[in-house]
Amino acid sequence: MRGGRLIGLHLGLVAVLFALNFVLPAYSHGTVARVMVLATYAMGYNILFGYTGLLSLGHAMFFAAGMYGLAMPMTHLGLGAGPALLTGIGSAAVLSLGVGLLALRTRGVAFMIVTLMFSQAAWLTILLAGRWTRGDEGVVIPQADRMLLGLDLSDPSTRYLAALALFSAVLFGTLWLVRQPIGRVLVAIRENEDRAELLGYDTFRHKLGAVVLSGTVSGAAGAAYGLFFGYAGASFAETHYSIFPLLWVLLGGAGTVIGPFLGTLFMFYLIDLTSGLTPAYMLVAGVALVLLTLFAPQGLAGEIRRRWWRGLP
Amino acid sequence: MPVTKTDAGPRSPARRSAIKTLAAAAAGTASLPLWARYAGAQSAAPIRIGFQMHATGIGAAYGRWYDRTTRAALRLINEAGGINGRPVELVTEDDGTDPKRGAEVVEKFASLHRCDVGYGTLFSHVVMGSAPRAGELKLPYFVVSEGHHVASGALNRWTLQPGITDVKSQVLAMAPFVRENLGRKVTMIFPDYAFGHDHRDFFSQAIEAQGGEVVAKLAIPPTETSFTKYFAKIPRETEVIYHVMVGPSVLTFVKEMGEFFGPSRPEIFGFIDSLESVDLQSPGLDFLEGTYFWEGMPRYVQPDQTEFDRHYRAAIGIDENGALAADPSDVSAYAHMFGCWETLYVIKAGMEACGYRGPDDRAALVEAVEAMTEMPLSNDHPQGAKLFNGRTHQVFGPQYISKVENGRLVVQAETPIEAGFYPDEVDYTTQSL
């Protein structure tokens, strides 16, 4: 029964998003498509931070690995969008495995610093490989090349539904994961890693799996972003794109499946609306974030779980 | 070098007569009160120009001056009767000098604000991130970037750069002066990202074509804060240092270069991009005395100042030193911001040529601008006469080479338009609208 309610909640969200495809005005339609891709990035981040308790400051490198893993073969090898999507996801998977193997030799603050440094190195690599990446300027993925399975991803409705498909797959994948024994182990590591180890779990392997899964999902979001919006640029590998998913997850509710979407949506509209009211919109956004942290420290979905629905995953 | 001032009108007789008529009408209506000027228009609804402004982020210093220039030009356009008898309204959105936000802002212009055009983007990565969305949304997107991205064919038919020359053209025009007046053996110092790579590649080819030689290429990583170790790599045979450093570290760069060379330095040539909005009297910049700079438009009033430069400065409120008349410490981005002014007048001319009525005529506006060729030196084009290439969507114009004398930039040469020509790399008119 409880499982039915949970699945109903998440199915309901997907159904609402699907219905919105037909009723949203043009600007919001494009915005929600973008938010779904970015929320996918946040959900990837949440697997590592929200469920496993590992705070990474370098996830932009995984997002960018997916984006460039897609864009480079398309630009230089003429690869089609479908295979390029796979190379993008594969690039992020390989990078996250390598980074995980090295970074997980550290803990706590050291893990944050190591991931930050790896991410800086990835950003500089993109700049230094300017002959292929066009450095900070980036590359445009031509509209004619953005065809996937015969579908034109520059078409607003197709892009929206493709974004919804990606978002839904990761949403239900995360929901499934956290309800499996492996998901429980990740939460156990977050709560007390030593105790989890004492109980016989190989915490290193579980954490490595979480890094790879989190990095791969983030990379899938990066690849999708490049494909859907036609651009891959080095700015997506900069530090603030590692901070964004942290903010989205904290706002929406770390360790909740639905929270990353709420946080991404809230943050997007907070910036978008306040920027139309005042040039000091970042100040307004900052104050709003401080207030939320003070009065809803567990984020939006976290508050729902604390106040009304303790079983919310 | 000779100055090329083209006074021939546009090629199309129909367009020429249309513009003459409109000019006469504008002159007549300028004397009327504001409400009466727009009364004869089919629609009194304003034309909306979406201004993608770098209000925050790394481009903010430029953005502030692009904003002032834009507002001054639009004030004059509105005082003269607007466009097609309709007032022009500016819709400004901050893109944070970020390509992701830039794309979102373009979406906002097209879908939310119902702007007629998008306009004003400077930084190349923001242009690259935004242009695909402008193309998909079929929003004419007028950039003021000086990047080679438009003419390279990387973008789309909806993106145009009719108000400022591109870096490739600028560099090509500089090479003959450097070779003939400063030296043959050049060491290049440039930031290790796309902007610097463009200079490296284009100038290397151009100086070799002039019989010169680049003896060293020193790429400075973007995170660098100290430069002395790079100066040690400059070969002894160097006759000219070519630098294009940009960003907040430029003052350190110049100071350390002065400490390294002392009084015996090679000739030095740089792009003023490094020192836009920076007072040349700033402490540490005295080493630049006697060095040369490319300028898009001379910051300091020159003895042969044109009436058009006088008109342009007065409209924005800029003094003879290129600073805000009301605050001489507020130095302008004079070498670039004319591009905003001229682009707005191109939009105006394009809308008038095609009888623009609303967003349904956006494609006609693109075609009207593509049909433009010669743009005479005038109040609309105070930087100089220009030639627009409708196939590549890129304008070509004169460049200025100035020398720092007594802390002021004094023009030494003005290059002709043709000095910046290069073969077309794209024909956007073959793409559908």
Least confident of A106-115, B249-258, B336-345: B249-258
Q: Over chain A, what is the mean pLDDT? A: 93
Residue B67 φ then ψ, to 5°: -65, -45
SS (H, E, C) chain B: CCCCCCCCCCCCHHHHHHHHHHHHHHHHHCCCCHHHHCCCCCCCCCEEEEEEECCCCCCHHHHHHHHHHHHHHHHHHHHCCCECCECEEEEEEECCCCHHHHHHHHHHHHHHCCCCEEECCCCHHHHHHHHHHHHHHCCCEECCCCCCCCCCCCCCCCEEECCCCCHHHHHHHHHHHHHHHHCCEEEEEEECCHHHHHHHHHHHHHHHHCCCEEEEEEEECCCCCCCHHHHCCCCCCCCEEEECCCCCCHHHHHHHHHHHHCCCCCEEEEEHHHHCCCCCCCCCHHHHCCCEEEECCCCCCCCCCCHHHHHHHHHHCECCCCEECCEEEEECCHHHHHHHHHHHHHHHHHHHHHCCCCHHHHHHHHHHHHCCCEECCCCCCCCCCEEEECCCCEEECCEEEEEEECCEEEEEEEECHHHHCCCCCCCHHHCCC
Q: Does B194 touch chain A (CB under 8 A)?
A: yes
pLDDT value at residue B12: 43
What percentage of chain B reaches a pLDDT higher than 90? 75
- A130: chain B residues, CB-CB within 8 Å: 192-194, 197
Return residues 139-168 of B near A (CB < 8 Å).
Answer: 147, 149, 154-156
- B132: chain A residues, CB-CB within 8 Å: 140-141, 143, 154, 229-231
Return residues 36-75 of B near A (CB < 8 Å).
Answer: 55-56
State the number of CA atoms in the 13 A half-sphere of B188 facing the CB: 26
Average pLDDT of the residues in A146-172: 95
pLDDT value at residue B81: 95
Model confidence at A77, pLDDT cuts 50, 70, 90, reads: very high
Residue A156: left (phi > 0), alpha (psi -120 to 50), or beta? alpha
Closest partner CB to B128 (pick from A27, A34, A137): A137
d(CA B206, CA B186): 12
pLDDT value at residue A207: 97
Q: What is the pLDDT of residues A209-231, one digit of tens each?
A: 999 999 999 999 999 999 999 99
In the predicted model, is pLDDT for residue A188 greater than 60? Answer: yes
Least confident of A119-123, A141-145, B39-43, B76-80: B39-43
Q: What is the pLDDT of residues B329-361, one digit of tens each?
A: 999 999 999 999 999 999 999 999 999 999 999
**Residue position matching structure tokens 């040529």:** B353
Which helix or strand (DSSP H or E) is residue A147 part of? strand A147-148
Cα dihedral angle (B252, B254, B257, B262), rounded to 10 degrees? -120
d(CA B318, CA B321): 8
Q: What is the pLDDT of residues B192-211, one digit of tens each?
A: 888 888 999 999 999 999 99
CB contact under 8 Å between B193 and A26, yes or no, is no
Both structure tokens of B246: 């940009």
Higher pLDDT, A9 or A58: A58
Closest partner CB to A27 (pick from B93, B111, B131): B111
pLDDT value at residue B22: 46
pLDDT value at residue A71: 97
- B167: chain A residues, CB-CB within 8 Å: none
Give residue limits of the domains in chain A: 2-237
In the predicted model, is pLDDT for residue B112 greater than 90? Answer: yes
Best mutation site among B64, B92, B94, B428 for testing chain A: the one with the most A CBs within 10 Å? B94
Closest residue on chain B to A129 (Cα): B193
Higher pLDDT, B72 or A131: B72
Model confidence at A6, pLDDT cuts 50, 70, 90, reads: confident
Q: What is the pLDDT of residues B168-195, one digit of tens each?
A: 999 999 999 999 999 999 999 998 888 8
Cβ neighbour number for residue A202 with a 10 Å cutoff: 12
In the predicted model, is pLDDT for residue B8 greater than 50? Answer: no
Q: How far is A208 from chain B (nearest CA, A)?
A: 31
Least confident of B38-52, B192-206, B346-360, B396-410: B38-52
Least confident of A244-258, B38-52, B180-194: B38-52
pLDDT value at residue A131: 87
- A233: chain B residues, CB-CB within 8 Å: 99, 125, 128-129
Best mutation site among B98, B136, B157 for testing chain A: the one with the most A CBs within 10 Å? B136
Interface size, chain A vs chain B, as Cβ–Cβ contacts under 8 Å: 97
Q: Does B114 touch chain A (CB under 8 A)?
A: no
Q: What is the pLDDT of residues A260-292, one digit of tens each?
A: 999 999 999 998 888 878 878 888 888 888 888
User: What domains lie within chain B, and their CATH numbers?
Assistant: 13-165+316-397 (3.40.50.2300), 168-295 (3.40.50.2300)
In the predicted model, is pLDDT for residue B432 greater than 80? Answer: yes
pLDDT value at residue B43: 67
Best mutation site among A24, A126, A136 for testing chain B: the one with the most B CBs within 10 Å? A136
CB contact under 8 Å between B107 and A137, yes or no, is no
Average pLDDT of the residues in B52-66: 92
Cβ neighbour number for residue B210 with a 10 Å cutoff: 16
Closest residue on chain A to B101 (Cα): A272
In the predicted model, is pLDDT for residue B2 greater than 50? Answer: no
CA B99 to chain centre: 19
Q: What is the pLDDT of residues B226-247, one digit of tens each?
A: 898 999 999 999 999 999 876 6
Kindly list the residues of chain A whose beta carbon comes within 8 Å of any beta carbon in chain B.
25-27, 30-31, 34, 124, 127-128, 130-131, 134-141, 143, 154, 229-231, 233-236, 272, 275-276, 279, 281-282
pLDDT value at residue B42: 54
Q: Which of B412, B409, B411, B414 is nearest to B323 (CA)?
A: B409
